[in-house]
Structure 1
Amino acid sequence: MPWMACELHSHTFHSDGQQSLLELAYGAKALGFACIALTDHNTMTGLNHKEDVEQETGVSIISGMEWTTFYGHMVTIGLTEFVDWRPAGPGDIHKGIAGVHAHGGIAGMAHPFRIGSPICTGCFWEFKIEDWNDIDYIEVWSGTFPSIKTDNARAYRLWTDKLNEGCRIAATSGRDWHTQEQTDEPLSVTYLDIDEAEGDVTSKVVRALAAGKASVTMGPLVTLEMRSDTAVYRIGDCVPKQDRSDSYKANVKIDFHTRQGKWDFPEPHYVLSLVGNKGVISEQNVRIDQGNYVIEIPGDELVWVRAELKGTVRGARAMIAFTNAIYVD
């Protein structure tokens, strides 16, 4: 299946949003999204008519809920039923995550470094994490024009630090969408590599996110493969020990036609980087009329690698897109 354009953090008037689920779905469709996760604060009642909305709009709606507490916000996606957030205290978030997993869902840190009390009580993450492998993903880009925001930069560094520590954790974006107001700021998209296995869209989205098969962008879709002598590995995959090599061929594809007309970066001056646990591995300028790049990278001591695309947006040098990691045992 093709990569699916998803919005993974949204709200309706069932919590603090100012839109119905139908308005949200039509708004998402107009922006080129194929899928949205409804993540109202501490309730799932907004999903009551999701099948009717899906049928009318053609947009897939994923069940979710944003656990909204004094100690942090945790987005849960793919739940088969309500999992009570109220027992979660600052030292026992892992019990809550276990409950989410037991009911078919995954759990991610929402905007972990957004300003906290008294402006946004609970927005800043204060839960104690004993095992980072319990966290399925980190929302590293939150809001509109996310890559220039300092709180998102901290979240992105946190993700990088955890990858360097050996954690295999995904990174996503989320608009934290509350209303249908118009904006001319760049919007981010989380693209998911949806598998061909049987099951509904929700289960496929959960599998893709749990496996880190995601690429995030405000513009073109960037994908990454890594080739050894015997196999090809995609985003979220892991090169096993028996296939370790002194070098790999990284194949980066940049699709400038995705969501065509929904974004525009005049004279972006794109630069493509491959980044890993040892820092920047490769860097080169990108031509808009060339979408495929094959780059040989060293395999010695490589633990993970991702692709990043930078450019000029509104006069600011900013990251435009990044992939999740490919890992090496």
Structure 2
Amino acid sequence: MTGIADGRVVIVTGAGRGLGRAHALAFAAEGARVVVNDLGVGLDGAPGAGSPAGRVVEEIRAAGGEAVAHGGDIATEAGAASVVATALETYGRLDTLVNNAGFLRDRMLVNLDEDDWDAVLRVHLKGHFLVLKHAAAHWRAETKAGRAPCARVVNTGSGAGLLGSVGQANYSAAKAGIVALTLVAAAELARYGVQVNALAPAARTRMTERTFAETMSAPASGFDAMAPENVSPLVVWLGSAASAGVTGRVFEAEGGRITVMEGWRRGPTAEERARRTPAEAGETARKLLARAESPQAVYGAES
């Protein structure tokens, strides 16, 4: 290992399993002290048995690293505040926040209950916002006290939030919101020495069992493209001082592939210095669409 995260204190939410666990272990292997947050709920957000956060802490310590578990609900004001407080009280500082916690409640749109909508947006979007808010408040206070931080935030998006995904309207909306939150936070927090980026990962986890059903089994030999550990190196780099100057960007990471995503940009435009009729507006729109690039397909849509 290179020690790229030596001395940094890192919070990883939803770090008891899957991608979050892989990120926590990767940061620890690179010299970071890690706050491992996980509420220990099931795939649908219902309470689960055991303490996955505690088990990850044990793994890190067994390998010679430093870590502490946090079992609070980061989608509440108290839980978000306490995970930041845990980092500060345990290690005296906070350098990196990796927002990763989430779960799924997939339904086709017409079958999607209000509770399913609220629960998914709560943990993904509200959970990202609240922890980011409390971390940012700390970094702002540090800046005002003359201790300019070298802070990093990595938010977890999804291809579903970039292109949409059939049967995942709630999840897609939450992940799209995370991208917008990332862009705003990057702009607002730059003055405090904070860089904010988002990552859309693809890996084999509990949440992706159905999505990647055909590639769930790791190969007997060779490169396991769907292993969560393939995503973590980019997360660690984004969460380290080595990523200086990179902020407000969205990446995709899957297997050995890293992609810089290029989001909404103004395309073909037509301007008229008079009010159009609906028919004229439609004719103009048709002409512009003929010159525009076709959007990429929504995940799961019939071709």
TM-score normalised over the length of structure 2? 0.31
More strand by share: 1
Normalising by structure 1, what TM-score? 0.29
